[in-house]
Amino acid sequence: MTEPRAVVAAFIAAIEAKDLAAAGALVAEDISYENVPMQPIAGRDTMVAVLSAFMGPAVAVEWKVLREVAVGNVVANERIDRFQFPGGWVELPVAGFFEVDEQGLITLWRDYFDLSTYTTQMAAVSG
Amino acid sequence: MTEPRAVVAAFIAAIEAKDLAAAGALVAEDISYENVPMQPIAGRDTMVAVLSAFMGPAVAVEWKVLREVAVGNVVANERIDRFQFPGGWVELPVAGFFEVDEQGLITLWRDYFDLSTYTTQMAAVSG
């Protein structure tokens, strides 16, 4: 499976299943994982550690892809990333850009979002 | 001119020239202009008024398109929107999604960005 849209779809499905081993297997060892308001995260192992830390407490994860466009090795999508915590749901509108290499591995994952939209909700459900 | 990428390129060029009449002529009367962390802005006249209010004090405007993908009537891009004020430059990473209709008019303009990245810099250059 190397078709970029299929790779990104499989990656998102793995995230929703909270199967971070499967998600990690779909990215290159030297992936750059970039949450634009923050510093880029370098490498598969660090990406998995970061995802584990912030998704670990989630009861459920749903990433709704509202729209997706793909050209060549690039996939861009608009999403609502939803996380259910014991205290309630957090919903974050996100625009994501992905690059997929010829081996079907994600080499770049860059998400644009408003950080305070996330932190404000996280504070509310953690209260 | 109705090719979506050409329409978006002309729109961005008009913004950079601070020619809001030209920018307005490239959008549908009922455009939805959405800065995702904030409420959508409805209609061409309101869009032009909002752009005028926040770009008016800018000495220069440069929107660097880092990447763009287009499929059908949709254009998605990654940009650095730069604004020069008397007190200095403000630089905002943005992911934009545009829909262009058959008349070559932009009917949707939705930008994803981190609001505090903008407001923090604005406060600094306005100090």
- Give the pLDDT score at B126: 85
User: Domain residues for B112?
Assistant: 4-125
Query: Largest Cα–Cα distance in chain A?
Result: 45
Query: What global pTM score does this model have?
Result: 0.96
Which residue of B lies nearest to A35 if distances are taken between CA atoms? B114
Chain B residues with CB under 8 Å of A70 CB are 69, 71
Q: Are the beta carbons of A1 and A104 closer than 8 angstroms? A: yes
In the A/B pair of chains, how many CB contacts fall below 8 A? 63
Residue A23 in tokens: 């998600």
Query: Percent of chain B beyond pLDDT 70?
Result: 98
DSSP label of B2: -
- Structure confidence by residue, pLDDT tens digits, B51-71: 999 898 999 999 999 999 999
- Give the pLDDT score at B91: 97
- Structure confidence by residue, pLDDT tens digits, B2-59: 899 999 999 999 999 999 999 999 999 999 999 998 999 999 999 999 999 989 899 9
Q: Please give the Cα distance from A125 to A84 (Å, whole number).
A: 9
- Give the pLDDT score at A2: 82
Which of A19-28, A54-63, A106-115, B72-81 is least confident? A54-63
Average pLDDT over residues A35-43: 95
Instruction: With CB atoms and an 8 Å threshold, state whether B114 touches A110.
Output: no
Q: Is A127 a residue whose pLDDT tops 90?
A: no
The overall average pLDDT reported for chain A is: 96
Is B94 at the interface with chain A, CB within 8 A?
Answer: yes
Chain A residues with CB under 8 Å of B91 CB are none
Is B95 at the interface with chain A, CB within 8 A?
Answer: yes
Residue B88 in tokens: 């200095």
CA atoms within 13 A on the CB side of B68: 16
Task: Indicate the residue of B78, B95, B117 with minimum beta-carbon distance to A37.
Answer: B117
Catalytically active residues of A, by annotation: 81, 111
- Structure confidence by residue, pLDDT tens digits, B89-118: 999 999 999 999 999 999 999 999 999 999
Quote the number of domains for chain B. Answer: 1
Q: Are the beta carbons of A44 and A27 closer than 8 angstroms? A: yes
SS (H, E, C) A64-110: EEEEEEEECCEEEEEEEEEEEECCEEEEEEEEEEEEECCCCCEEEEE
Is B76 at the interface with chain A, CB within 8 A?
Answer: yes
Residue identified by tokens 């990406």 is: A47
- Give the pLDDT score at A88: 95
Amino acid at A122: M
- Give the pLDDT score at B21: 97
Is A69 at the interface with chain B, CB within 8 A?
Answer: yes
Average pLDDT over residues A45-52: 97
- Give the pLDDT score at B54: 87
Q: Is B1 a residue whose pLDDT tops 80?
A: no
Q: Is A14 a residue whose pLDDT tops 90?
A: yes
For residue B64, the domain's CATH number is 3.10.450.50
Task: Indicate the residue of A69, A74, A112 with minimum beta-carbon distance to B112.
Answer: A112
Residue identified by tokens 């950079």 is: B16
- Give the pLDDT score at A49: 97
